[in-house]
């Protein structure tokens, strides 16, 4: 050995042809043995599969790999835990709607599973918004900056929005007719709507702050609200959402995108990583045609299933995170453990603060302001209800589908009886069974309106220009209401007269 170590390469004996052949033979033998072993294993695997009743099917293996590649290469699937409540979306049309808007609206509707109006979208400061309002606000801003004309901005919920459509003509007529009206007898008077269905404080105040910050320069701001402020607060609490939050029925659907939460996002990323591993593995297996071999194919499919199981586990973790997210602060807001009385107090405080904020914002800009408490059917003494109004107002507060979705036709006494000895069902002896949501709204009007009026007196005492229109239909016997809170054109014309009178007083006071 030591001698060999001492030899140089030149001195080493060169391998002979026999030696080389021997080595090649050994190599070929080894390769042949491996191939034979693989062959035997392949045959064995096929026999085993056949004996197990599942003969090897290379086409099926290829199919499984292809499916895995196709399905696991896609993004993280949508949250499947959301259940559609089946409410058909509203189909409000708009002549100015662009095709892009329409496409976006369609996408939006699909994204929310049809749970909200196709035009509804998340808004950072209002909770949700109607997509069409963006363009309308732009038009309002441009018009309000022109030197001529008198621009009136109306804020509030659906009644305020209806008022712009049905009552503004009468309002304009009365304003122009008044001597000393700053807009003149024939100058253009434009009424702009920044009201949205189911808006309640602080949404009106935020909408005004946003519109003013965006450059709107109105000559008069009118807020018409009250009912949604108390009614939605109660329905929110029933839904486990803070009374100050936007309508839970809309917010919870739109805000239910758990991938916005970093914890769920991290799990989404983990799921994506594991799914990508499945896809990459399937791609490699397909490229190598492992399906042609029962042995390699079985091993590959085994590994594939293992990876898929890991991805499924990640999916389960993500689902759990989704669930936790849904129960978290994003949707329900700060914890609210109070009674419905507390919820009403909270709502009325917010309504009052909203009015003060809006008045303050306007005052700081020298814009006259008027806050109107809208009338509502179930406020006792608001109106002698007609037969039709009793029938419609009791069951159609949200529409039959929504009432059903909100909890079916549970007895109103069951929902509110514990706190209200009279029970919502006793009010005017409704002719139809009240849904839980209807009962909340009736109760909200009955208990909330006296408190709103009392608060309004305080606000008026501070100098806030206020108009109590809650009794504007007190002597009207004809049918005006279409449901618990919304009324027809005749009602809006009557409301316009009250508002015009009070607005003119306020304008005159400002002029002095």
Partner 1 sequence: MAPPDQAPPRRARLWKKLALVVGSLAIALLLAEGGTRAFLAIRGKAFDAEATRLDVLNTISTLNDNVPRWNAPREETNDPKQAEVLHPYFGIDAAGYIEDLANVVTYFQSEAATRNYDIAILGGSVAAIFAAEGAESFIEELRKDPRFAKSIVRYWSLGRGAYKQPQQTIVLHTMLSLGIEFDAVLLLDGFNEVAITRQNATMGEFPLYPTATKWLARASNPAADRELLDAMMTLRARQLGVTRQARRILDWGIWRSALASLFALKSLTRARGDAMAHFQRVSDRLAKGTVSPTAAGPRFDPDPAAVMRSSVKAWVMGSRAISALCREHGMTFLHVLQPTLHDTGSKPRTPQEIEKGASIPSWEEGARLGYPELRAASAQLIERGIAFYDASRLFAEVEETLYYDSCHFNALGNQMLGRALGRPFLDAAAANPNPRADR
On whether the CB atoms of residues 338 and 217 are closer than 8 A, the answer is no
Alpha carbon 494 to chain centroid distance? Answer: 35
Among 206, 235, 340, 374, binds partner 1 (CB under 8 A): 206
Task: Single out the residue of 506, 503, 446 nearest to residue 163, CA to CA.
Answer: 503
Among 102, 122, 391, 508, binds partner 1 (CB under 8 A): 122
Site string for partner 1, 370-399 (x = CB under 8 A): ------------------------------
Number of neighbouring beta carbons within 10 Å of residue 240? 14
C-alpha to C-alpha distances, 131 to 247, 250, 426, nearest whole angstrom: 17, 14, 41
Which C-beta is closer to partner 1: that of 134 or that of 501?
134
User: Per CB under 8 A, does 255 bind partner 1?
Assistant: yes
User: Per CB under 8 A, does 266 bind partner 1?
Assistant: yes
Among 265, 409, 460, 476, binds partner 1 (CB under 8 A): 265
User: Per CB under 8 A, does 456 bind partner 1?
Assistant: no
User: Per CB under 8 A, does 134 bind partner 1?
Assistant: yes
R_g of the chain, CA atoms, integer Å: 36
Kindly state the number of chain residues that form the binding site for partner 1, as judged by CB under 8 A. 70
User: Per CB under 8 A, does 459 bind partner 1?
Assistant: no
Number of neighbouring beta carbons within 10 Å of residue 151? 23
- Judged by CB under 8 A, the stretch of 103-111, 150-158, 181-189, 493-501 that binds partner 1 is 103-111
On whether the CB atoms of residues 412 and 436 are closer than 8 A, the answer is yes
User: Per CB under 8 A, does 209 bind partner 1?
Assistant: yes
Among 333, 414, 417, 450, binds partner 1 (CB under 8 A): 333
Among 58, 66, 71, 257, binds partner 1 (CB under 8 A): 257
Q: Which residue has the tokens 């042949």?
A: 32
User: Per CB under 8 A, does 138 bind partner 1?
Assistant: yes
Closest distance to partner 1 from the beta carbon of 204 (Å) = 11
Local structure of residue 320 (DSSP, 8 states): H
User: Per CB under 8 A, does 234 bind partner 1?
Assistant: no
User: Per CB under 8 A, does 135 bind partner 1?
Assistant: yes
Distance CA 285, CA 63 (A): 12
User: Per CB under 8 A, does 217 bind partner 1?
Assistant: no
Among 15, 78, 302, 401, binds partner 1 (CB under 8 A): 78
Among 356, 409, 451, 508, binds partner 1 (CB under 8 A): 356
Distance CA 283, CA 438 (A): 57
User: Per CB under 8 A, does 201 bind partner 1?
Assistant: yes
Q: Which conformational region is residue 94 in: left (phi greater than 0), alpha (psi within -120 to 50 degrees), or beta?
A: beta
The token pair at 210 is 């946003």
Element (H, E) at 360: helix 340-364
The token pair at 12 is 């080493």
Strand partners, 481: 487
- DSSP string computed for 394-430: HH-SS-HHHHHHTT-S--HHHHHTTT-TT-GGGTT--
Q: Which residue has the tokens 């896609």?
A: 74
Task: Single out the residue of 219, 399, 289, 330 nearest to residue 66, CA to CA.
Answer: 289
Among 87, 144, 268, 374, binds partner 1 (CB under 8 A): 268
User: Per CB under 8 A, does 323 bind partner 1?
Assistant: no
Which C-beta is closer to partner 1: that of 354 or that of 393?
354
On whether the CB atoms of residues 205 and 358 are closer than 8 A, the answer is yes
Among 58, 66, 71, 259, binds partner 1 (CB under 8 A): 259
Which C-beta is closer to partner 1: that of 60 or that of 356?
356
- Judged by CB under 8 A, the stretch of 241-249, 387-395, 433-441, 471-479 that binds partner 1 is 241-249
Closest distance to partner 1 from the beta carbon of 324 (Å) = 9
Contacts of 413 (CB under 8 A, 6+ apart): 423, 424, 425
Contacts of 84 (CB under 8 A, 6+ apart): 113, 114, 115
- Judged by CB under 8 A, the stretch of 83-91, 122-130, 168-176, 375-383 that binds partner 1 is 122-130
Site string for partner 1, 336-355 (x = CB under 8 A): x---------x--xx--xx-
The site for partner 1 (CB under 8 A) is made up of 74-76, 78, 100, 104, 107-108, 111, 121-122, 124-128, 131, 134-135, 137-138, 201-203, 205-206, 209-210, 212-215, 244-246, 251, 255, 257, 259-263, 265-266, 268-269, 272-273, 325, 328-330, 333-336, 346, 349-350, 353-354, 356-357, 359-361, 363-365
């Amino acid at each position: 050995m030591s001698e060999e170590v001492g030899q140089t390469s030149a001195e080493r004996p060169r391998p002979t042809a026999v030696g080389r052949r021997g080595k090649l033979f050994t190599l070929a033998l080894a390769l042949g043995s491996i191939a034979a072993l693989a062959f035997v294993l392949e045959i064995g695997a096929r026999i085993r599969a056949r004996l197990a009743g599942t003969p090897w099917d290379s086409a099926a293996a290829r199919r499984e790999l292809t499916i895995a590649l196709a399905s696991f290469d896609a993004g993280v699937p949508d949250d499947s835990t959301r259940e559609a409540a089946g409410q058909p979306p509203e189909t409000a049309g708009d002549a100015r709607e662009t095709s892009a808007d329409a496409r976006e609206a369609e996408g939006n509707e699909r994204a929310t599973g049809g749970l909200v109006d196709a035009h509804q979208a998340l808004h950072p400061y209002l909770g949700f918004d109607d997509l069409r309002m963006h363009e309308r606000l732009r038009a309002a801003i441009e018009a309000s900056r022109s030197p001529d004309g008198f621009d009136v901005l109306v804020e509030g919920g659906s009644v305020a929005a209806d008022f712009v459509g049905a009552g503004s003509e009468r309002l304009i007529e009365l304003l122009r007719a008044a001597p000393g009206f700053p807009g003149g007898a024939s100058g253009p008077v434009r009424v702009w709507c920044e009201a949205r269905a189911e808006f309640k404080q602080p949404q009106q105040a935020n909408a005004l702050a946003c519109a003013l910050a965006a450059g709107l320069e109105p000559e008069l701001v009118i807020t018409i609200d009250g009912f949604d402020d108390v009614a939605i607060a109660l329905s929110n609490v029933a839904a486990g959402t803070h009374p100050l939050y936007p309508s839970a029925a809309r917010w919870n659907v739109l805000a239910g995108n758990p991938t916005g939460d970093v914890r769920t996002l991290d799990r989404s990323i983990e799921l994506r990583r594991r799914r990508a591993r499945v896809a990459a593995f399937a791609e490699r297996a397909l490229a190598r045609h492992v399906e042609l071999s029962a042995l390699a194919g079985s091993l590959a499919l085994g590994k594939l299933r293992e990876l898929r199981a890991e991805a499924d586990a990640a999916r389960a973790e993500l689902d759990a995170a989704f669930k936790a997210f849904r129960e978290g602060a994003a949707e329900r807001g700060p914890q609210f453990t109070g009674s419905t009385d507390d919820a009403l107090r909270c709502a009325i405080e917010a309504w009052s603060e909203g009015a003060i904020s809006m008045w303050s914002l306007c005052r700081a800009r020298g814009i006259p302001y008027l806050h109107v408490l809208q009338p509502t059917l179930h406020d006792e003494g608001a109106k002698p209800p007609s037969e039709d109004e009793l029938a419609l107002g009791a069951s159609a507060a949200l529409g039959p589908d929504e009432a059903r979705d909100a909890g079916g036709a549970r007895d109103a006494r069951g929902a509110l009886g514990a706190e209200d000895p009279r029970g919502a069902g006793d009010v005017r002896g409704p002719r139809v069974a009240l849904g839980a949501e209807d009962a909340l709204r009736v109760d909200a009007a009955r208990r909330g309106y006296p408190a709103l009026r009392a608060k309004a007196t305080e606000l008026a005492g501070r100098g806030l220009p206020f108009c109590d229109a809650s009794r504007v239909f007190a002597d009207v016997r004809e049918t005006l209401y279409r449901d618990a809170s919304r009324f027809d054109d005749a009602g809006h014309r009557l409301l316009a007269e009250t508002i015009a009178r009070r607005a003119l007083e306020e304008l005159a006071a400002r002029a002095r």
